[in-house]
Amino acid sequence: MKMLDAWDILLSKLEDFSVRGIKFYTPSPNFYSIFTGYKYEQVEWKENIIEAWLDHVKEIICNGNEKVYEYILCWFANILQHPSAKNETALIIIGKQGTGKNTFFTDILCKLLEGYSNPNMTNLENICGKFNSSIENMKLIVCNELQSIDTTKVLNSDALKSLITDKVGVVERKYKDQRVCENVANFIMVSNNAVPM
């Protein structure tokens, strides 16, 4: 019969103390989860408290269109209720300045996802460029009047499409190597221009 010492016992149980990788969100104890929960706790909600906001979304953002309104609510509910959800579509909101696209809509959504949202990306280079770490571990990214007026516009559009639809992406920080990571980013594009981007 072999005698086991503390070292042998530790080696035999080492797998119980290690993780196999990092994910944005997973209930598995075998992976480290970056998502630690939302800043705000869920409470029983009363529709009359948020009725003005819902009316704004329906009448102003969706122009009274019931189908679009339901789609937007379900789109956002999916990423709120399922931490690693990626809708693989982007909302594009176009309207006149001062209609509350940011103040009454995207700013509130980003506040709900605080810590996992980027409320005001204005430069496409920060999203699709070489150093794109600003999108890492972000569930919601609001692109506000994106600037892309050069010969790389088509390349940027292709890169943006990939970020919207792909569940895995490459992230690079300055002075760090590229690495492949889970892409949980969902995008809302906001513009005052009739032809954005």
pLDDT tens digits, one per residue of 67-110 = 999 999 999 999 999 998 999 999 999 888 888 888 888 899 99
Residue 130 lies in a domain: yes
| 87/69 Cα distance (integer angstroms) | 16
Residue 31 lies in a domain: no
Give the CATH number for residue 181.
3.40.50.300
- What total of structural domains would you count in the chain? 1
Residue 34 lies in a domain: no
**The pTM is what?**
0.82
Residue 100 lies in a domain: yes
Q: What percentage of the chain has pLDDT greater than the value 90?
A: 38
Domain that holds residue 177: 39-191
Average pLDDT, the chain: 85
